[in-house]
Chains A and B, each alone.
Chain A
């Protein structure tokens, strides 16, 4: 399968290892992957702040970078959510509509499209706490949201992690409470954002997690900032790194 690799801007700048893991993983699974080197950002930071005019340039550029692919895969539920449901600062041309339809988030691509049932190359002998981001839970449907208690439980992320040898999943008190990152919210509403982050991190720590794993590096950027400030013996890791067996 011919895949365009979408590496969100903060992953490019701060977590190149997540981009590398995603690329290598997709290749191991038989995809032919190309990375358009001119890509920047999907436009979400501006659009989430209500600044449609400021988002339009990035959105148009995003469409331009990816319009010739059959499938686009990105390791970020939050960014894929933006592309799929909110990329409307620009004209909805056939190219825009196409890009919005073909853009897949890594977990759903592995679980729903490739139907992966084994990561034979991966082992991860650690206690892992899963941080499913709000976009992953409530927009892309990786997991049954905790609010919908009356519906049967499912978790695509857990299903996939079962195929990695050694992973011991721990449970926490508030499985999908928001971590408080929230884009520009993390600086404009600093006190609330930080408190949410502290509570989230302590929930994982209390239950013995060695790693907080997520499909969203933006949440983890924030949670890592908290872990480092509190000097807790925990690390953050993107799920792509676990599935690929590194790099860490």
Chain B
């Protein structure tokens, strides 16, 4: 049986790194605050959310048509369109194209889909050198870690961590954690790689059915160099990235960066329409369980996601435990509802790594009912008999007790006595997670029910 990731244990270890946790919480909450300020300046925000949600729902419920329309129009533009049923097919298609062009060195901008497919290790195993060009993503690549955040992949690291990493990997001064110095060092390291790369890869934020073009949003301009310098550009696009018309983009472009970082727009919003002169452009349209999700009445709405990361920034559990605690490609609330769809056994604990506060649902620019889906995923985990045995046994006993007044009142009396007479050392033992950081509640002289029976019951 697949070993389940242990988000609670991983989070506990991150919280134990006090400075990391405090800095992470402050920075990520800062993004939420910037989002609030940006959104407050758009009086029609709720209208935009509704529009965005409707456009996505419409597209998803007519996805076959829009995908074919996109393929037709992209082909007319000279783009070579490929289809991939799953991660394996995606990687194979990409490798075939690269291999056919004799590519030795690839520069890529950040793409959650390529992460999801495990593209980089796949290509590296086949002798292709892969360089991430987004600064945060490059830091993660050099650390052998997945991104901890969709938008800011290395947000869980301190400047000093990066200084140490760059000292080891780039030969910089390990004591100098000045961001300008570190960024400049990476820029100098990356430039030659851009220039010598045989191919560039990107993801896409949106693909437009009526034009056959697609849009890549970045803040570093790295996707543009990667797509413009080498003669070959391959873009991986999840089939849920479609929008019908160019005008629909206006809604999403207004929301994406405001939701993510509180900026009105990303620094670069690049539209690609066919290959540039003398070059080749390939697009791989990837399903990888998306159509399966589309058929799920409870969970298809997750396909509306535009990967802004607002739900992560607002999530109190994500901010404390960090993105790596999820042990998956997608972290935070969106990860909690995406990952179990890829591997329920492996990610069965994720739906419980949430306090169900509901803030994610409120910030979501495309109105995905994230919190409600987390709640429903818990039922799916239990329905498949996958809850850890301790949790399950506890709930059955509790359920039985609470279904029977006499059992409940007996348990209450037992609790009253036990809490009163047990010595502190026994009460605050390692098997009592409550007592690790919190005092136990004091037990009143009598329950409300006893008080009521004594004082109010008219017999």
**B125: Cβ under 8 A from any A Cβ:** no
Question: How many residues of chain B are within 8 Å of chain A by beta carbon?
Answer: 82
Q: How far is the CA of A226 from the CA of B450 in the complex (A)?
A: 28
What are the interface flags for A211-246 relative to B under an 8 Å C-beta threshold, 1 for contact and 0 otherwise? 000000000011011101100000000000000000
Known A16-B444, A191-B8; judge A50-B382 contact (CB<8 A): yes
- B317–A189 touching, CB < 8 Å: yes
Q: Is the CB of A178 within 8 A of B402?
A: no
Report B378-404 residues with CB < 8 Å from chain A CB. 378-383, 387, 391-392, 394-396, 398-404
Q: Find out whether the CB atom of B438 lies under 8 angstroms from the CB atom of A225.
A: yes
Is the CB–CB distance between A192 and B439 below 8 Å?
Answer: no
**In contact, A17 and B395 (Cβ under 8 angstroms):** no
Judged by a CB distance under 8 angstroms, whether B320 is at the interface is yes
A58 pairs with B443, CB closer than 8 A = no
Instruction: Judge whether B25 and A50 touch: CB under 8 Å.
Output: no
Given contacts A184-B391, A189-B353, contact A145 B444 (CB under 8 A): no
Is A129's beta carbon under 8 Å from chain B? no
Q: Is residue A114 contacting chain B, with contact meaning CB distance below 8 A? A: no
A180 part of interface (Cβ distance < 8 Å): yes
Partner pick for B399 among A23, A58, A177, A198, CB 8 A cutoff: A58
| Bound-complex Cα distance A98 to B90 (A) | 53
Closest A residue by C-beta to B412: A13
Q: Specify which chain B residues have a CB less than 8 angstroms from the CB of A151 in the assembled complex.
A: 46
Which among A18, A43, A138, A174 has the greatest number of chain B C-beta atoms within 10 A? A138
B423 within 8 A of A: no
Interchain nearest-CB distance for B317 vs A (Å): 5
Residues of B close to A225: CB separation below 8 A: 434, 438-441
- Assess whether A54 is in contact with B362, with CB atoms less than 8 Å apart: no
When the two chains form the complex, which single residue of B21, B352, B357, B396 contacts A178, counting CB atoms closer than 8 Å? B357
Could you give, for residues 103-138 of chain A, a 1 whenever the CB lies within 8 Å of some chain B CB and a 0 otherwise? Answer: 000000000000000000000000000000010011
A187 touches B317 (CB 8 A): no
Question: Please, which residues of chain A bring their CB within 8 A of the CB of B16?
Answer: 191
Q: Beta-carbon contacts of B291-327 to A below 8 Å, as 1s and 0s?
A: 0000000000000000000000010110011000000
Q: Which of B343-386 contact A (CB under 8 A)?
A: 351-359, 361-363, 371, 375, 377-383
Query: Which residue of the partner chain A has the closest CB to B318?
Result: A192
Beta-carbon contact of A180 and B444 below 8 Å: no
Interface of A is mostly: helix
Complex contact B440–A55 (CB within 8 A): no
| Contact between A182 and B356, CB atoms less than 8 A apart | yes
Which chain B residue lies CB-closest to A19? B448
Q: Which residue from B36, B353, B398 sits with its C-beta under 8 Å from A146?
A: B36
B: which residues have CB within 8 A of A?
Answer: 7-8, 11-12, 15-16, 21, 25, 29, 36-37, 39-40, 42-43, 45-46, 314, 316-317, 320-321, 351-359, 361-363, 371, 375, 377-383, 387, 391-392, 394-396, 398-405, 408, 412, 415-416, 433-434, 436-444, 446-453, 456-457
Given contacts A199-B320, A225-B434, 16 further A-B contacts (CB under 8 A): A23-B452, A41-B402, A46-B399, A49-B378, A50-B379, A51-B382, A51-B392, A56-B399, A145-B362, A149-B37, A151-B46, A181-B355, A182-B354, A190-B433, A196-B355, A225-B438
Instruction: Provide 25 A-B residue pairs closer than 8 Å at the C-beta atoms, listed in order of the A residue.
Output: A7-B449, A16-B444, A17-B444, A18-B448, A35-B456, A40-B408, A48-B375, A50-B380, A52-B379, A54-B395, A57-B402, A57-B404, A61-B405, A138-B359, A149-B40, A177-B316, A182-B355, A189-B352, A189-B355, A191-B8, A195-B15, A221-B441, A225-B440, A226-B437, A228-B438
